[in-house]
A and B are shown apart, each in its own frame.
Chain A
Amino acid sequence: MNPLELTLGIMTAVGGFVDISQLVFSGQAGSKFGYVLISAFAISTIGIMVFSEMCGRVAAVAHQPVFSLMRHRLGLKLGLFTLIFSFLSTLITCAAEIGGLGMILNHLTGAPYAVMCIASTLVLMASMWVLPFKWIERTYGLLGLFMVVFVVAVVAIHPPWPKVIGGFVPQVPQGLSTKEMLSFSYFVVAILSAVMFPYEAYFYSSGGIEEGWGAKDLLTNRVTSIVGMGLGTLLSIAIVALAAQLFAPANVAPQIPGSVALQAAIPFGKPGLLLALLGMLFAVAGAAVETCMANAYSVSQFFGWEWGRHSKPWDAPRFTIAWIAVMLVALLIVLTGVEVMSLVEYSIVFSIVVLPLSYFPLMLLANDKSYMGQYANKWLAKGLGWLFFGFVTIAAIAAIPLYLLTSGG
């Protein structure tokens, strides 16, 4: 197996986990609740590993991406409802990523935020136009690995390792008031939503088809989903641990990406800050591309259009128009002046509502022996799949009341 084949998983995970919402959100989770929420990241990661492996397997064996399955299994009306909700949540997420890019470039260059948003959108669109899928995933996947500086920073600050490891055990912190308890619950639901963002599944399954996966690639799929998603979680957990160690004692709750980047500056000074900002820049750029393409994939697959960036943009014209339109509308949303963190909160709440509808048809098809033959879900994938389907359904029911009760945490 060529190690470069892992880049689809790395881009999906780095762009999916360590996008602008996770950057700030992980920092806030660590500063508010210490190491306790590490377990929420770890458990959700098992969920996204299970579902992304399933997505990739279905793509490789049945050659069907998630949105085609959704239309077929949910039918036109419910499928359309899911399409509209997931499109809106992914569009808002894409806008948040562009806003995040503007903020990071503003930190790096000092140039005005709006100008940086416009410039970064144009660069992203140019890269999506020029580069074929394989190079898009390699460029953003590999450059996002600058984020590893956060993992090195955790080691460098010598955190209390027993507490970090203890964070992997699910627990509810003692002595919380009702308000704090609601806020803790909101964080748990939001982490589950952010780690299992539906656009990751749309992107990953479509990416598998873009790469021409077949049954021979099932090992690549399994390794990619476990290593890629595992890496994404490692980066998020590193940010939680850094925030718990560096920000919590000082009662600092990071609200912008720049505060999160400071976590690498404390042990490594200016080079650490620069590496952190570059890593964040490429990870967030990857997330912007991923969300934009995920929306274009969804619409194209739902209506049966030609799709994919393995072919030239003019060979899949409606798909091309769709991703250009998504990127431009996302930029317009940012230019209205809406706060990036508000966009992040909306996208998390919207996403959790469509999560069960995204993963249910996938489970049905992956269980179906008439489509999947010998590659249908076995007991482990089936058991874990239904377990996490239960989790996301409960989270979907709880998300909006918790959001309203806690004003977004």
Chain B
Amino acid sequence: MDPFGHLKIVSQLLDVPIIDKDERSCGIVDDIELGGSAGKEMRVEALLVGPGAYKGRMPKWMYWLVRKIAGNRMVRVPAKAVVEIGSVVKLNVCGEDLGLHQAEDKAAGWIPRWGAM
């Protein structure tokens, strides 16, 4: 099944949470890369994840602020890695394989692994 069959991109895909095949949260669909050209069929080529993808979606001053706080990292998730689109976007691969989870893994290094039930 093609999860992108007929899709309302803004209402069904943009700003939807992404989870990988291990059910780990991998961010949000921050922007979408489309393929095709005028007069031809448009297709979703990839999902863009990370603050770098905010660039075209907010005023310049706001993006400047976001970039200062969160950087401009952006990960490209190819459309073929998407297996299902619903209340979340499900991937058929591990987030790590696509370069997702890097900030989460980095933060994990700061957290001591003791004391919690």
Contacts and interface: CB of A to CB of B under 8 A. Distances in A.
Interface of A: 62-64, 68, 71-72, 75-77, 79-80, 129-132, 135, 301-307, 312-314, 317-318, 320-321, 371
B58 A320 contact: no
B45 to A, nearest CB: 20
Contacts of A317: 104, 107-108, 110-111
Contact of A76 (B54, B88, B107): B54
B117 A132 contact: yes
Contact of A314 (B15, B113, B117): B113
Given A306-B104, A314-B108, A130 B62 contact: no
Nearest to B112: A314
Nearest to A61: B87
Nearest to B59: A77
A366 B60 CA distance: 34
A306 B25 contact: yes
> What are the 8 closest A-B residue pairs judged by CB atoms, nearest first?
A317-B107, A304-B28, A304-B27, A317-B108, A314-B111, A62-B87, A72-B15, A71-B15
6 contacts: A64-B17, A72-B15, A132-B116, A305-B27, A312-B113, A317-B110
Contact of A321 (B28, B88, B110): B110
B17 A304 contact: yes
B57 interface: yes
Given A317-B110, A318-B103, A77 B17 contact: no
B25 A321 contact: no
A232 B85 CA distance: 39
B32 interface: no
A63 to B, nearest CB: 6
Most buried by B among A76, A79, A302: A76
Contacts of B112: 314
A366 to B, nearest CB: 12
